[in-house]
């Protein structure tokens, strides 16, 4: 089996892509929260308000996950910078494994977020 070498520059590129995606999600969450505020003013039924609270909670939780992911990217970037400083272009297997695990987490979170958005848009189409 051939070992894959992951170069620091490739990981950095992927981190930059993820960072952009996470910042985009943060911006989307702000607009979703604004939409929730509009709906809170428009509806008084307990059923609708309960659903609005559910989405608000989901958005807060997702925002916390985004913060955690961004922080982890920063830690990994620091490790890459340290490696690069000492003339090493490829990270050792421990860091590569962490990177690959992190990639899976990003992919999982991407799916969770996509599902949340679909549900929220269905909700909006019903109540907007």
2 found inside a domain? no
Number of domains in the chain: 1
d(CA 116, CA 119): 5
- Cα 105 from Cα 76, distance rounded (Å): 14
Encode the chain (128 residues) as per-residue pLDDT tens digits.
555 566 777 888 999 999 999 999 999 999 999 999 999 999 889 999 999 999 999 999 999 999 999 999 999 888 877 776 666 655 567 777 888 899 999 999 999 999 999 999 999 999 87
User: Does some domain include residue 69?
Assistant: yes
- DSSP class of residue 43 equals -
pTM: 0.84
Interatomic CA distance for residues 90 and 8, integer angstroms = 5
Residue with tokens 């985004």: 66
Residue 3 within any structural domain of the chain? no
Sign (positive or negative) of CA dihedral 108, 110, 120, 44:
positive
CA distance 115 to 88: 40
Q: Residue 103's domain spans which residues?
A: 8-127
Q: How far, in Å, CA of 96 to CA of 112, rounded? A: 24
| C-alpha distances in Å from residue 111, one per residue of 4, 33, 48, 104, 117 | 26, 20, 25, 11, 10
Neighbours of 51 (CB within 10 A): 19
**Tens digits of per-residue pLDDT, 32-48?**
999 999 999 998 899 99
Q: Are 15 and 77 in contact (CB under 8 A)?
A: yes
């Amino acid at each position: 089996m051939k070992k894959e070498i992951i170069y620091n520059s490739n990981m950095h590129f992927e981190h930059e892509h993820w960072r952009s995606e996470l910042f985009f999600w943060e911006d989307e969450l702000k607009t979703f929260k604004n939409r929730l505020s509009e709906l809170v003013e428009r509806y008084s039924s307990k059923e609708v308000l309960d659903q609005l609270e559910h989405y608000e909670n989901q958005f807060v939780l997702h925002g916390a996950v985004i913060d955690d992911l961004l922080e982890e990217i920063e830690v990994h970037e620091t490790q890459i910078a340290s490696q690069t400083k000492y003339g090493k272009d490829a990270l050792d297997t421990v860091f590569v494994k962490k990177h690959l695990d992190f990639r899976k987490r990003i992919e999982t979170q991407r799916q969770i977020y996509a599902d949340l958005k679909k549900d929220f848009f269905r909700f909006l189409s019903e109540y907007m």
